[in-house]
Chain A
Amino acid sequence: MSSNITSSITPIVELTGVFKYYQGDWPALTDINLTVYQGDFLFLLGATGAGKTTLLRLLYRQELPDLGEIKVLGYDLTMMKEKEIPLLRRRVGIIFQDFRLLPERTVYENLEFVLQMVRVQKDTIPARIQETLNQLGLVHKKNAFPYELSGGEQQKVSIARALVKSPDIILADEPTGNIDPKASEDILNILKDINYQGTTVIMATHDALLAERTRRRRVTLDAGRIIRDEG
């Protein structure tokens, strides 16, 4: 994959005239038009309820738009069949604000679970997990359970879980929302590193200052509309 510097012009995410309503006619997203290219690092900014999470959920097909077209990694999400959804999600890494780690499994088992679910060749699994844990500095925690880890460490495991299946794109929903400023900085640096290695990253955050410091593309949502696209 190309690095961010030599970013290709291949669109990896395309939203055209997307509308999403909740509870009948409450507009969560209104007329969203957005293109993200391979190797981009994009911040989705906005206050709580601006539509960031809804937009991300549309990208991994947990929601469908009420109107408009969405294309991700070549898949037309509004037309795709149910059996194609796992194929899309295998190429997308998702990171949540609340980590969503499996509490009864160790760090290693949380990662192993993902690779088993996406049917990675069995004999390559230990090496892939080891490599990912190395990359995130988590090797010494591989036998720890989530409740034995700090918030920042849990979020790193969550990133490792997204990263271990070598996704083309990472969608991070407020990954720094539940952790302290120092850990937030670490998480952001990890995501930047991942992006430097060629993976497209879309990160939703309400922390505009954090986004500004990184000097990457920033798309700001307000009440479901894109009001700014800069950087």
Chain B
Amino acid sequence: MGYLIKETFRTISRSRSEFFLSTAVQGVCLLVLALFGVLTLNVLIVLRTAVQRAQVFAFVTDEVALSPLPLQEKVANIAGVMEVRFVSKEEAFEELRADLGTDTSLLNALGENPLPASLRISLQPSYTTPEQVQALEQKLLLLPGVTEVWSGKELLSQLNRALRTVLLLDVIVLIIVAISVLFIVFQTTENSITSRAQEIEIMELVGASRATVRTPFLLEGTLQGALGGIMAFLLLFVIYRVVVSFIPPPLFPTLLLFGIIFSLGALLGLSGALLALERLPSTLRVVPVRVSKKSRVGTGIG
């Protein structure tokens, strides 16, 4: 194996400019993927948090507001409800005052507190689809004492749509990058095979096994992929350091990202080399033109 590794580096050094150029292109492809990955991760977290924090407001009559506990218990027993909190008229008014801050002109214009008491209902994470929220809304409206329900399901629906779009974009980028990297490694390995045709033939004629002949190419492809991955990660890290000087630091799981980009690069490199090796001309695979002796005799040749 030591000699095969030496052979791999000998091949690389023989065509180092092509090798490093291919590695650089591969690194850029993987960087695009990594950037999308980090961006998606952060968008996903923001969107998921927003969805999970979504609350349903059930406004109640003044009678219920005097004794909200029975209704509160009924609502808490509905499937998908995680937590129910009663907010009195006064508390709602205070919240509004806090939201408006120093601008008290609106509150002064209102005069009397017009805000109704309500139940603020937090949903379980698995119950945040627009359909589930719609169903909950209908159940709440059937309860005596509930005058109106606001669920923000349009907003939820938009958030969920955004989540799906981001994931779809990710899959598309992943496919494009994977094909690009495979193609680059395929091309590099194929060139390497062509330039070493004589060496390969001699290897086989002196008795090298198929595995011995193929190993240096597989090592070269994997190494190229892995180096591309390392390059992509380093560039990504530089971009991250620049970005955090302008905006609050996004989520950046360094080790996990390195592991994924490195492994993906190596795996794609290995796969590209394997594909190219399918076209390796081999003296070990000779297929005869089988003909019957009878037919030969019939032609008068035999």
Chain A residues in the interface with B (C-beta under 8 A): 17, 19, 21, 24-25, 27, 30-31, 60-67, 82-83, 85-92, 94, 100, 102, 104, 113-114, 116-119, 122, 161, 165
- Which residues of the other chain, B, contact A88 by a CB distance below 8 angstroms? 207
Is B207's CB under 8 angstroms from A117's CB? yes
B3 x A116 contact (CB < 8 A):
yes
Determine if B283 and A62 form an interchain contact, defined as CB atoms under 8 angstroms apart.
yes
CA distance A21 to B291 in the complex (A): 9
B203: nearest chain-A partner, CB-CB: A117
| A-B Cβ contacts below 8 A, count | 84
Q: Smallest CB-CB separation from A24: which chain B residue? A: B289
Starting from the known contacts A118-B207, A118-B208, A122-B2, 15 additional A-B residue pairs (CB-CB under 8 Å) come to: A17-B293, A19-B296, A25-B301, A31-B302, A65-B288, A66-B288, A82-B210, A86-B204, A89-B204, A90-B207, A117-B203, A117-B207, A117-B208, A119-B212, A165-B207
Chain B proximity of A30: nearest CB distance (Å):
7
Q: B301 is contacted by which of A27, A65, A117 (Cβ under 8 Å)?
A: A27
Please measure, in the bound complex, the distance between the C-alpha atom of A121 and the C-alpha atom of B202, giving whole angstroms: 20
Could you jot down 20 A-B contacts, CB within 8 Å?
A19-B296, A24-B289, A27-B301, A60-B205, A62-B205, A62-B283, A64-B286, A66-B288, A85-B284, A86-B210, A89-B207, A90-B207, A91-B207, A92-B207, A102-B198, A113-B203, A117-B206, A117-B208, A119-B212, A122-B3
| Contact, CB under 8 Å: A94 / B205 | yes
Question: Could you tell me if B199 and A90 are in contact, using CB atoms closer than 8 angstroms?
Answer: no
Known contacts A62-B286, A66-B288: A118-B202 contact under CB 8 Å? no
B299 at the interface (CB under 8 A from A): yes
B42 interfacial contact with A, CB 8 Å: no
Query: Which residue of A has the minimal Cβ distance to B201?
Result: A100
Contacts A19-B302, A102-B199, A117-B203: A86 and B208 contacting too (C-beta < 8 A)? yes
Given A86-B208, A86-B209, A89-B207: A21 and B289 interface contact (C-beta under 8 Å): yes
Partner of A89, one of B205, B286, B293, B296: B205
In the complex, the answer to whether A89 meets B206 with C-beta atoms within 8 Å is yes
Smallest CB-CB separation from B293: which chain A residue?
A: A67
A75 to chain B, nearest CB (A): 13
Q: A90-B207, A161-B206, A165-B206 are in contact. Are A117 and B212 (CB under 8 A)?
A: yes
Is there an interface contact between B290 and A66, defined as CB atoms closer than 8 Å? Answer: yes
- Could you say which residues of chain B place their CB within 8 Å of the CB of A83? 209-210
Are A64 and B293 neighbours in the complex by a CB distance under 8 Å? no
B215 to chain A, nearest CB (A): 11
Given the contacts A19-B293, A25-B299, A64 and B287 also touching, CB distance less than 8 Å? yes
Q: Which of B190-221 contact A (CB under 8 A)?
A: 198-199, 201-210, 212
- Is B14 close to A, CB under 8 A? yes
In the assembled complex, the CB of A49 is this many whole angstroms from the nearest CB of chain B, namely 16
A36 to B205, CA, bound (A): 21
C-alpha spacing A102/B195, complex, angstroms: 12
Asked if A30 contacts B203 (CB within 8 A), the reply is: no
The answer to whether residues A90 and B285 also contact, given A19-B293, A67-B293 and a CB cut-off of 8 A, is no
Q: How far is the CB of B285 from chain A (nearest CB, A)?
A: 7
- Give B45-95 interface residues, CB cut-off 8 Å to A: none
Give the complex CA separation of A90 and B14 in angstroms: 28
Q: What is the bound-complex CA distance between A70 and B199, given in angstroms?
A: 27
Taking the closest CB of chain B, its distance from the CB of A206, in whole angstroms, is 22
Which residues of chain B (253-293) have a CB below 8 Å from chain A? 283-291, 293
- Interfacial chain A residues near B287, Cβ < 8 Å: 64
CA of A89 to CA of B205 in the docked complex: distance in angstroms? 6
- Shortest A200–chain B CB gap in Å is 17
Tell me, in angstroms, the Cα distance from A112 to B297 when the chains sit together. Answer: 48
Complex CA gap A116/B208 in Å reads 9
Give the Cβ gap from B205 to chain A, nearest Cβ, in Å. Answer: 6
Asked if A100 and B202 make an inter-chain contact with CB atoms under 8 angstroms apart, the answer reads yes
User: CA A164 – CA B287 in complex, angstroms?
Assistant: 30
The listed residue (A64, A66, A114) touching B206 by CB distance below 8 A is A114
Q: Which residues of B sit under 8 angstroms from A25, Cβ to Cβ?
A: 296, 299, 301
In the complex with contacts A64-B288, A100-B198, A86-B296 CB distance below 8 A = no
CB-CB nearest 5 A-B residue pairs: A90-B207, A64-B288, A117-B208, A89-B207, A116-B3
Residues of B within 8 A of A17 (CB): 293
For A91, the closest partner residue in chain B by CB is B207
Pairwise interchain contact A118-B206, C-beta atoms closer than 8 A: yes
B285 touches A82 (CB 8 A): yes
Kindly list chain B residues whose C-beta atoms are within 8 Å of the C-beta of A24.
289
A102 touches B202 (CB 8 A): yes
With both chains docked as a complex, state the minimum distance between the C-beta of B229 and any C-beta of chain A, in angstroms: 30
Q: Which residues of A contact B14 (CB under 8 A)?
A: 104
Question: Chain B residue with minimal CB distance to A89?
Answer: B207
List of B residues within 8 angstroms of A90 by Cβ: 206-207
CA A25 to CA B291, docked complex, whole Å: 10
Q: In the complex, what distance in Å separates the CA atom of A61 from the CA atom of B284?
A: 8
